[in-house]
Each structure stands twice: as structure tokens, then as C-alpha cells.
A = this chain, B = another copy of it.
Amino acid sequence: MKSKVLELLKNCTSFISKEEISEKLNLSRQIVSKYVDQLKEIGYDIQVIPHLGYKLISCPDRLLPFEIQDKLNTKIIGKKIHHYDLVESTMDVAMKLALEGACEGTVICAEGQTKGKGRLGREWISPKYKGVYFSLILKPEISLNQAPIITLLTAVGICRAVNRMALVSASIKWPNDILVNNKKIGGILTELNAEQDRINFIIVGIGINVNTSKSLLPPNAGSLKSETKEDFSRIELVKEILRDIEHFYLLFKKKGTQPIIEKWREFSFLTGERVEVVCQKRKLTGVVLDVDSDGSLLIREDSGFIKRLTAGDVIRVR
């Protein structure tokens, strides 16, 4: 009901009286007052003038579930959202919830993380209120070796959402970096829980540097702000990303990997590039040919042989 009160306030360009809210929502005036106080506490700037009533001046920049869910219009993703001010890692919270049976599409987001997780045990710097950091629980009926497609479709979803919103040309650096102007602005981490012959759930973790200043970030990283000199609404960005991930997730469910791979190729940063890859302590050099239908990277080595990589760190070389 609190979000109903908020909705009324949002839809009203001028003042709305306590009586009107109370009547429209069939709530007592005391309860209306209480909800307005609670909204103010969360950070909503609400002007109160006796005899006139309430007027919403501004909304806080917080990833509040009812803000994200407002006109989200998704079928699965984001139907349930858990919001935290500060956690060690949304991945760990998501893992716990998933093991306890959280349903598909559940989102766990935080304003900041003290131990944000990157790939291979690395850290994802997650300063409070600057970026978006969330984990998403999916339960696709796929086999273990199909799991990488979930990372691919997430990357595609993020790129499309970021490009539409920030008017940039985001690209994907295999396996899971999102780049803008050659700077890493986002990353994806996938963790899964499986029995030998079925995936119980996959947790997709997403970190995007949105309004983060460069001084807070590692040397090769950037943010949407550092690359565009603009600030962005983190709430709108999360909504766009959730919608686009769902779009490609449903597309994958309906039509398989092919359309995902095709879209992935469009966004691929590395295709045709000369790269050096470090993979399980070995190093190889070659030209990136393509990504395979199972998400592995195809590289033509200098010797002429084509290598299929399922893991590794890729560096572009000249």
C-alpha cells in the first residue's frame, strides 16, 4: 500500500490532500500520514503544507524494489527483488536464497558491496550508490555444458540496455567483460549449482560502474559517467537491463542458442583481433575467429591450428 501512496504522489503534478489519498486508497488518514513519514525516511523529498497536502519533490537514488518494479513489465525476472544497503557480496546472498528455494527471476541488489566478487576470486570494486550491483537467480532446464550460454545472453542483454540508455557503443570482451571506449565498465559472474545431470540454478551476478568517478576504479576501468560525462539513473538502468536479459532469456528458451550467438557476435570486441590468452598457466597467441555455440572462443594460432578455449584471460596485442 505504501507504493500505492507513492504512485499517487508521483502521478500528481501539484499537491494532493491527505483526504484524497485516504479516499482513493480506502485508508485511514493516520495510515496515510504514517506511509508518507516512512517514504520521507527512505529519502523521498515530500513537501507537506497544511490545507494543501503533500507534494513529491524528488525521489532518492536508491534501488528500491517498488521503484524497480514500477512499469518493469517483465514476466519472470524481477518479480521478487531483495534490496540491501550494504552486503559483502550479492552473490553470497543469492546463493543462500537459492539454496533455500528462491524462485526463478529473483533479484538481489545492493547499494554497495564490501567484497564484491569478480571472476576467478578477484574483487569487484563496488562503492555505495555509484554503480549497480545485483545477482539474478535463473533455473533454465539445460545441461551443464550449455551453462555458458547464460553468460552470453546476459552480456548481450547488458550491451543492448546500456547502448540504448547511455547512447554508447558497449562491446563484449570474452568471456564476460563489458567495455565502453575500450574501458571495462561492467562485468558478469556466473555461479551455478548442479547435480551431475541437471542444473539446479544459475546465479548471474552483474556489476556496472554507472556514476563512479575514475579515481575510485582500477586503472583500466571506466564508468558510464567517465565515458559520457553524464549521470544516469541507476534505477532506470537496472530496469532496462532486467528487461533486456529477460528478452534474450526467453528468446533462448524459444529458439535455442543460435540467435543469442548471432547477437553476441555483433557486440564482440575481439573478433578479428590479435590476442594473447593466458589459460591454466599456459599462454597462446593468435587471431580471434569467433565464439562457438557453447560459448567457447575460437582462436587461430600462429601455427595455423584452431584452438577452442572455454576459459582464460584475453589481452589484445598489436
User: Using a CB–CB distance below 8 Å, which chain A residues touch chain B?
Assistant: 92, 95-96, 99, 119-120, 143-145, 147-148, 151, 175-176, 189-198, 200, 295, 310-312
Given contacts A144-B144, A145-B144, whether A175 and B151 have CB atoms under 8 Å apart is: no
Min CB gap A166→B, angstroms: 26
Q: How far does the alpha carbon of A66 sit from the alpha carbon of B143 in the complex, in Å?
A: 40
Distance (whole angstroms) from the CB of A121 to the closest CB of chain B = 9
A191 pairs with B195, CB closer than 8 A: yes
Question: When chains A and B are docked, how far (Å) is the Cα of A214 from the Cα of B146?
Answer: 41
Q: Which residue of B lies closest to A141 (CB)?
A: B280
> How many copies of this kind of chain does the complex include?
2
8 additional contacts, CB 8 Å, given A147-B196, A193-B193, A197-B311? Answer: A92-B99, A119-B195, A120-B197, A120-B198, A176-B196, A190-B195, A192-B196, A194-B194
Please report whether the interface of chain A is mostly helix, strand, loop or mixed according to DSSP: mixed
* Residues in B whose Cβ lies below 8 Å from that of A197: 119-120, 175, 310-312
User: A200: which B residues are within 8 A, CB to CB?
Assistant: 191
- A145 partner, pick from B92, B95, B145, B312, beta carbons under 8 A: B145
Return the contact of A99 from the options B95, B143, B144, B196 (Cβ within 8 A).
B95
Q: Which partner residue on chain B sits nearest A92 by CB separation?
A: B99
> Which of A119, A194, A200, A312 has the largest count of B CB atoms less than 10 A from its CB?
A194
A–B pairs, 20, beta carbons within 8 Å: A92-B99, A96-B99, A120-B198, A143-B311, A144-B144, A144-B145, A145-B145, A147-B196, A148-B196, A151-B196, A189-B195, A191-B193, A191-B195, A191-B200, A192-B196, A193-B193, A194-B194, A196-B295, A197-B310, A197-B312
